[in-house]
Chains A and B, each alone.
Chain A
Amino acid sequence: MKKHMKTLNKANLKESAVKGGCGECQASCQSACKTSCTVANQKCEK
């Protein structure tokens, strides 16, 4: 158990690149605001 730091997530960006790229997820600007996009809050379709 770490005393000085807590890691909130399992680092997975790298893994996601291997499995990803299916292109089925929503275009981000469509989702809520149509003026600026934040991709990190999009849902993955897999």
Chain B
Amino acid sequence: MIHKYSLNGYNIILDVYSGAVHVVDDLVYRLVDFTSEGMSSQVPAEAYNALKEYSKEDIDSAYSELFEAYNFGQLHAPDDYEQFADMMINASVKSMCLNISHDCNLACEYCFASKGGFGGERCLMSEETACKAIDFLIEKSVGRRNLEVDFFGGEPLMNYDVVKKTVEYARSKEQEFDKNFRFTITTNGLLLDDEKIDFINREMHNCVLSIDGRREVNDRLRVDWGNRGSHDRILPKFKKLVSQRNGKDYYARATYTRYNLDFTNDILYLYEQGFDQLSEEPVVSDPKLDFSIQEEDLPRIFEEYEILAKKLIEMKKNGEKINFFHFMIDLNQGPCAIRRLRGCSCGNEYVAITPQGDIFPCHQFVGNENWNMGNLNDGTFNVDIKKKFAKTTIYNKRKCRDCWARFYCSGGCNAINFEKNNDILEPYSLYCDMEKKRLECAIMIQAALADD
């Protein structure tokens, strides 16, 4: 299977099953339509007829290059991966989202977690529950050394003492159980001070700093309970944190809505403020909400991703260090094919824990009791739900089976699939369209950077 597209002056052919990416001239771009899985060394007669404006000699030499790629397994390579689809069914749990606070000191209009409460009572996780969660992860992660724990909420820093104690507790177990904890935290920044910044920079492998970009964009939706914008309060704290991070991973993480479809300007704004690791996610929620991205916004969003991609090429060619999460792609050394068959691994290798100790497949399923997988206090853990999620591979998702993006996207977000289509195996088309556009841009950027 191949996927071909033209973008920003580059003709690109992606060979889906080998992962090879070819940048080709106009002739090859058309000629490739006359090739297939069983191609021979002979140019098909129809090709000469269809490409009359080219000389026979040109067509022959272009075809021989295609044929060479085919012989190298870089064109129309076969799909050999279904045999690995069931490989992870008994995988260990190794990643955990700790909802350390079901409360928030902001009340962002678009919050998926109902402004921090996840549709339930506002509360904080106790130290006891957090430690039980660590014990659970150690117990369930048989055979895995690297364990991930993300402090999430709500706003995790509202329960800072428990965050600190959890880290201390987990570190005290690392040697005994031969585990390496990687902590991450997602924060809105309001409560950051020097002590917390030091702690985060010391202990957190990665941190996600939520800020939407330009003041007017941020302050329209990222407001506190008194409806006041947060931009001026968080920006200096985030800057300080990043300036002391010593090269460790972080992301300034923005959210875009229908109100700022010119989101490239927010990315550039954040870059000017000193953030070079950037991420920007669309809000796709209830279409009745005015700010939620709709189907009709897609052409504008596609255009904006192209604008952003071109801007990034220009900046990178000028030697600027800027990294946009959704355009990151390593064509040579990405994750292995087996990993690519399943996306987030939620409900299987990844779970979320609530302050009450309930276990859910991931943070986005929290609060939906049908997906409750058990509880830390009574030791229950529903293995049937785990198996169900283990099978959410691209081979079990009808739509992904014939999608060119499947080894990059890996099957989308099960939570969105469920929310929109009531079926974790049925990808949400708006999501797919955006994902595919971002991938096309990401690959095109690689083509442009290779072109000197």
Contact = CB atoms under 8 A, between A and B. Distances in A.
Interface residues of A, number: 42
Contacts of A36: 281, 412-413, 416, 431, 435
B416 A30 contact: no
5 smallest CB-CB distances across A and B, nearest first, come from A20-B336, A11-B18, A40-B408, A41-B328, A17-B337
Nearest to B14: A8
Interface of B: 13, 15, 17-25, 27-28, 61-62, 65-66, 68-69, 72-74, 77, 80-81, 84, 87-88, 91-92, 94-95, 97, 112, 143-146, 148, 150, 152, 182, 184, 186, 206, 208, 251, 253, 279, 281, 325-326, 328-340, 343-346, 349-350, 362-364, 407-410, 412-413, 416, 431, 435, 438-439, 442, 446-447, 450
Nearest to A6: B23
Contacts of B88: 21, 23
A8 B148 contact: no
A9 B315 CA distance: 23
Interface string A1-44: 01111111111111011011111111111111111111111111
B412 to A, nearest CB: 7
A44 B25 contact: no
Among A12, A14, A35, A42, max chain B CB count under 10 A is at A35
B150 to A, nearest CB: 5
Contacts of A26: 95, 146, 148, 182
30 contacts: A4-B28, A8-B446, A8-B450, A9-B331, A11-B72, A11-B74, A12-B332, A13-B17, A17-B337, A17-B338, A19-B336, A20-B337, A23-B349, A27-B345, A27-B346, A29-B346, A29-B362, A30-B150, A30-B184, A32-B279, A32-B325, A36-B281, A39-B343, A40-B334, A40-B340, A40-B407, A40-B408, A42-B339, A44-B336, A44-B339
A34 B66 CA distance: 40
A32 B251 contact: yes
Q: Which secondary structure characterizes the binding site on chain B?
A: mixed
Given A11-B18, A40-B335, A2 B279 contact: no
Contacts of B68: 2
Contacts of B340: 13, 39-40
Contact of A44 (B148, B253, B333, B438): B333
A11 B70 CA distance: 11
A2 B25 CA distance: 11
A32 B337 contact: no
Q: Which secondary structure characterizes the binding site on chain A?
A: loop
Contacts of B182: 26
Given A24-B144, A40-B329, 17 more contacts: A4-B28, A4-B61, A4-B65, A10-B20, A11-B74, A13-B81, A17-B80, A20-B335, A20-B336, A21-B339, A32-B251, A37-B344, A40-B334, A40-B408, A40-B442, A41-B334, A42-B339
Contacts of B438: 38
Contact of B94 (A4, A23, A33, A44): A23
Given A4-B61, A20-B338, A32-B279, A39 B408 contact: yes
B148 A38 contact: no
A21 B84 contact: yes
Nearest to A5: B24
Nearest to A41: B328
A30 B350 contact: yes
A3 B435 CA distance: 32
Nearest to B338: A21
Contact of A5 (B25, B77, B362, B363): B25
A24 to B, nearest CB: 5
Contact of A31 (B206, B408, B410): B206
Nearest to B19: A13
B408 A11 contact: no
B413 A35 contact: yes
Contacts of A21: 84, 87-88, 336, 338-339
Contacts of A27: 94-95, 148, 344-346, 349-350
